[in-house]
Amino acid sequence: MTFCSLERVVMILVEDLTIVSQREIAPRIFEMVLKGEMVADMQVGQFVHLKVPDPSKLLRRPISISEIDYDKKEATIVYRVEREGTAILSKMVAGQAIDTMGPQGNGFDISVIEAGQKALLVGGGIGVPPLVETAKQLKAKGVEVVSVIGFANKDAVILEDKLRACGEVYVTTDDGSYGIKGYVSTVIDGFDWTPDAVYSCGAPGMLKYVDSKFENHPHAYVSMEARMACGMGACYACVVHVKGESDAKNLRVCEEGPVFPTGKVIV
């Protein structure tokens, strides 16, 4: 299949975005700012599918959208270098173009909460980035934002300052080297209030906790991560099972997700 610079494929754009900047914000964690027309269509909680500029890397890399500047047509993504593909991405510099498919997936529904209400944002590790734009847009609506973010240790803490600009933030670390020792559950279980909406993204263990604690909440959401191939819902490589259904009943993280209501899928 051949793509031109900008075209629509099943309501998904394929565009060569320009790298505005890239920097390492924590060990093996990189922040990249991209510019292009695609940004106008981006929503909180969605992701982009990046093509690694190496012919030996056939699969794109799905990376969540961390911030959106509609006026500048710029979007920020934050990713962790895991293997060779993301290592190649981390070496790209400002001015280079990167083949990008997106914006993809169903993001966080922030229409369910109104000004004066209170939202709880829960993130762990590399699951924290998509919460930043979510927090910014919630704050702009007049929503009170409380974020609880967890990391392995002090060196792994990212984006705390950007979340603090939007509201109250609690930081936990597994080893107690920064913030509160423990997990996000350590903080949340101590709250004496009920959020009007919950938005979460992180490791499976953390999402299991959120899914269980807020299973019957009308406006609680988990953002799932899965290995992807096509990224357009055709290959069914990224499916998750629907709760209470047979194994044949699946939903695709790239299409029906990555965000699902709590209690909907097996986390």
Q: Is 134 annotated as a binding residue?
A: no
Enter the pTM of the model.
0.92
pLDDT at 7: 36
Q: Is 62 annotated as a binding residue?
A: yes
Please say which residue of 104, 137, 153 terminates a domain: 104
pLDDT mean over 121-146: 98
Query: Are 88 and 30 within one domain?
Result: yes
Residue 255 belongs to some domain of the structure: no
Query: Are 68 and 10 within one domain?
Result: yes
Give the pairing type, strands 197-201 and 180-181.
Answer: unpaired
pLDDT at 236: 72
Residue 141 belongs to some domain of the structure: yes
pLDDT at 48: 96
**Dist. CA 38–CA 202, nearest whole Å:** 26
What is the CATH classification number for the domain harbouring 67? Answer: 2.40.30.10
pLDDT at 160: 98
Residue 54 belongs to some domain of the structure: yes
Q: Is 85 annotated as a binding residue?
A: yes
Residue 163 belongs to some domain of the structure: yes
Q: Is 86 annotated as a binding residue?
A: yes
Q: Is 80 annotated as a binding residue?
A: yes
pLDDT mean over 156-169: 98
Query: Are 96 and 130 within one domain?
Result: no
- Percent of the chain scoring above 70 in pLDDT: 93
Residue 143 belongs to some domain of the structure: yes
Number of domains the chain is built from: 2
Q: Is 79 annotated as a binding residue?
A: yes
Give residues with Cβ within 8 angstroms of 138, minimum separation 6.
110, 113, 119, 145, 166
> What is the pLDDT of the chain when averaged over all its residues?
91
CA atoms within 13 A on the CB side of 239: 13
**Dist. CA 66–CA 51, nearest whole Å:** 18
Residue 243 belongs to some domain of the structure: no
**Enclosing domain of residue 133:** 118-223
Q: Which two tokens stand for residue 116?
A: 């004066």
CA atoms within 13 A on the CB side of 23: 4
The DSSP symbol for 97 reads E
Judge whether residue 58 has pLDDT over 90: no
What is the CATH classification number for the domain harbouring 200? Answer: 3.40.50.80
Query: Are 129 and 48 within one domain?
Result: no
**pLDDT by residue (tens digit) across 228-258?**
667 766 777 778 888 877 666 788 887 787 8
Query: Are 48 and 89 within one domain?
Result: yes
Residue 37 binned pLDDT confidence (cut-offs 50, 70, 90):
very high
Please say which residue of 72, 104, 136 terminates a domain: 104
Q: Is 64 annotated as a binding residue?
A: yes
